[in-house]
Structure formats: structure tokens, C-alpha cells
Amino acid sequence: MTEGRQAADAPFADQYLREYAPLFANHGKMREVRTVVEAVAGTNAVILIRGESGVGKDVVARAIHAASARHARPFVKVNCAALPADLLETELFGHEKGAFTGAYRQKLGKFEDANTGTIFLDEIGDLPRALQAKLLHVLQDFEFSRVGGRELIRVDTRMIAATNRDLEAALATGDFRQDLYYRLNVVEIRVPPLRERKDEIAAMAALFLSRFNRQYHRSVDLSPEILALFEQYSWPGNVRELDNIVRRLVLLGNDHQVRAELARALPTSSPAANGGGPTPAVAAEAPLGLREIARRAAREAERRALLEVLERVRWNRTEAARILQISYRTLLTKIAECGL
């Protein structure tokens, strides 16, 4: 595919200017992200987005697509950690009728679905090594064969990838191909965690509040007390956690429970945590009962066990789910609940 810059005098699409550009306007580091997004949007360069889980890598990928000349074409997302290797191959590249037991008809893959548009490969660090060579071939030649087929399928697809894994460590252990790493890492965008852009929290929370008030037909406000707690909290789940907390606040109709939970999560030296700040109502909370103490201890034990297994398998979620004897979907839910 021919690479070229979007014409300098050509405005970005309305969707990008309306939905995405404002998200990058409230913090210096995010304005830097916006600069790169707008610089590369008009090219076909492969983009690698890196950052912790929940920071908004998906949003950055959609912003690149919305700002590009492909904005009216398909945007197709694939989570590389969500499926085992054999299913992921057919998901990406499709299969021919009779390719394997149960293949009763031809199926197009996500690369074909994204033809003339953008494919977003999330959790690329979890891509099985067996598929890494095939993906490298697609990136080099823009063609592939469906599973069970011989015909070469050629596509015009722009690829964006994202990961929260340490790819350099994966290179050292042999879990990730060096040639694919360099092919992916043409342009790298690092999305900072929410704790490093605290001055963005109030504006982002207000954006989420407006959306959920409309969605649930509510008129909940953000009190000064809850905003003060938002500023002090470390946000281990990043933007996704903020989104979930604001949604819960709207659904509950008040912020009493959310304030109590956040205050308990703060260090004891924090003014809001010990009642010396703007949240005296939280300081007056009754002592915890035995049932709540037991519940928290169990939750913390589960969190430690989950983290231990994930680190042991280098965050291979499929393997972790097998070891823990739970479904993959349950594993993802527990990872989110534990703020990992």
C-alpha cells in the first residue's frame, strides 16, 4: 500500500473533532498523544499503542481511525487474548468449508472484514507464537490464506496494535518474535496511566456523568467531596475504573457508598481518609463488622492468588484460567474487580 500524509489543508472528520479530539485536551501528556495521532492518522503506518490496562488504548485506536481517510470504512477490533490459538487463527484469517470438523461453510476472517478500513489487534502481546509468523507475513505482503485454503487473499487494511505487556521482556524469553516486534513498532504511542494526569480526572468524570445521566434518565451531580476523593485516589484500574465508578454513582443516585469505598482505599495519612479533609461524612462511618472484615480478607486473598498465577504464566490469560479452573470470561471479570 502506498503511504502518504493526509493533505495538510484537509480537515479531520467531524466524528474525530467532536468525539475524540476533546478527550486529549485536558493534560499535557494527552495533548502529546493527540499530536502523534493527528500526525500519523493520514498514513498507513502500523501503530503500536502501549499502556496499562484500562488507560484507554482502545479510544486512541478509534481516534486514529476516525481522524484518517478510512474513517467511513470498517473499524474491526480483535482481542488476541480472548481466544485459544486455533480459534484465533480462524477469527483473524477465516476458514474454508471443510477445513476442520464443524466447518460447514466458508467463513471470512477479521482481516477481510476490515478491508479498506482499520483492524485493531488488542492484547497483541498475548498473540500465540504460532500465529506471529502468519501475522508478520500479512504485515509484509498484505496477503494470507484462509485456514484450509490455498488461495492468497489480498487486503488493503491499516493495522493498529495495543498491549499492556512488556514486549521487551517477552523478546528476551522468546515468547515474542523479534522480527514481528520491529515490524509492529513503527510508531509507538504510550498512553500514561490516570494517576499521572490527575488534572484530567474532573473533566473526564463530568463527561462520563453526562453520558450516564442521559442513559439512565438521572440528574446526579458530582459533589465537591467526591471530586476531592477522585483527586487523591490512585486509580489502579485507570480510565475504565473511573468510568465504572461514575456509572455506579449514577445508578445508586448518591455518592455515599462510593465515597466510603474510596476513602477506605486511601492511605491513612490522606486528609480525606482520616476525616481531616472535605469528607467529614466518611470519617463518621461506623466500625466494620466481622462479616465485612471477612469479606475483605477473602477478596484480598483472592486478589493475591490471582496475581500470583498471572505473573507465573506471564499474563497468559488462557493459561491462567485453566490453572484456576474458571472460565476465561470469569477470569477477565475477576481481573477487573481486583483492579489488576
Task: For residue 75, tell me if it sits in a domain.
Answer: yes
**Predicted local distance difference test score (pLDDT) of residue 274:** 53
Can you say whether the dihedral through the CA atoms of 253, 255, 260, 265 is positive or negative? positive
- How far is it, in rounded angstroms, from Cα 114 to Cα 78? 11
* Residues 305, 257 within the same domain: no
- How far is it, in rounded angstroms, from Cα 273 to Cα 166? 34
* Residues 83, 172 within the same domain: yes
* Domain end position, chosen among 192, 216, 231: 192
User: What is the CATH classification number for the domain harbouring 260?
Assistant: 1.10.8.60
Give the residue-averaged pLDDT of 185-195.
Answer: 93
Task: For residue 224, tell me if it sits in a domain.
Answer: yes
Can you give the residue range of the structural domain that contains 251?
Answer: 195-283
Q: Which string of DSSP letters, residue by residue, matches 219-249? A: -----HHHHHHHHH---TTHHHHHHHHHHHH
* Residues 143, 53 within the same domain: yes
Instruction: Considering only CA atoms, give the Rg of the chain.
Output: 23
Find all residues with CB under 8 Å of 239, minimum gap 6, and list them: 54, 55, 56, 59, 194, 204
Number of domains in the chain: 3
Mark residue 11 as left, alpha or beta (left: phi above 0; alpha: psi -120 to 50; beta: remaining). Answer: beta
User: What's at 229, amino acid-wise?
Assistant: L
Task: For residue 168, tell me if it sits in a domain.
Answer: yes
Residue 226 phi, psi dihedral angles, 5° rounding: -70, -35
pLDDT in tens, 18-68: 888 888 877 778 889 999 999 999 999 999 999 999 999 999 999 999 999
- How far is it, in rounded angstroms, from Cα 331 to Cα 81? 12
Can you say whether the dihedral through the CA atoms of 298, 302, 305, 308 is positive or negative? negative
* Residues 170, 223 within the same domain: no
User: Which grid cell sits at 27?
Assistant: 493534560
* Residues 159, 252 within the same domain: no
Task: For residue 60, tell me if it sits in a domain.
Answer: yes
* Residues 165, 81 within the same domain: yes
Percent of the chain topping pLDDT 90: 40
Greatest mean pLDDT among 99-103, 187-191, 222-226 lies in 187-191
- How far is it, in rounded angstroms, from Cα 66 to Cα 17? 9
Tell me the whole-structure pTM to 2 decimals: 0.73
**Predicted local distance difference test score (pLDDT) of residue 337:** 74
Task: For residue 8, tell me if it sits in a domain.
Answer: no
* Residues 64, 144 within the same domain: yes
Task: For residue 290, tell me if it sits in a domain.
Answer: no
Task: For residue 289, tell me if it sits in a domain.
Answer: no
* Domain end position, chosen among 125, 160, 192: 192
* Residues 140, 178 within the same domain: yes
Task: For residue 5, tell me if it sits in a domain.
Answer: no
Confidence of residue 291 (pLDDT cuts 50, 70, 90): low
- How far is it, in rounded angstroms, from Cα 11 to Cα 112? 28
* Residues 276, 328 within the same domain: no
User: What's at 16, amino acid-wise?
Assistant: Y
User: What is the CATH classification number for the domain harbouring 331?
Assistant: 1.10.10.60
Confidence of residue 271 (pLDDT cuts 50, 70, 90): low
* Residues 263, 313 within the same domain: no
- Return mean pLDDT, the chain: 83
- How far is it, in rounded angstroms, from Cα 218 to Cα 211? 10
* Domain end position, chosen among 176, 192, 208: 192
More confident residue, 73 or 303: 73
* Residues 157, 46 within the same domain: yes
Confidence of residue 302 (pLDDT cuts 50, 70, 90): confident
* Residues 19, 112 within the same domain: yes
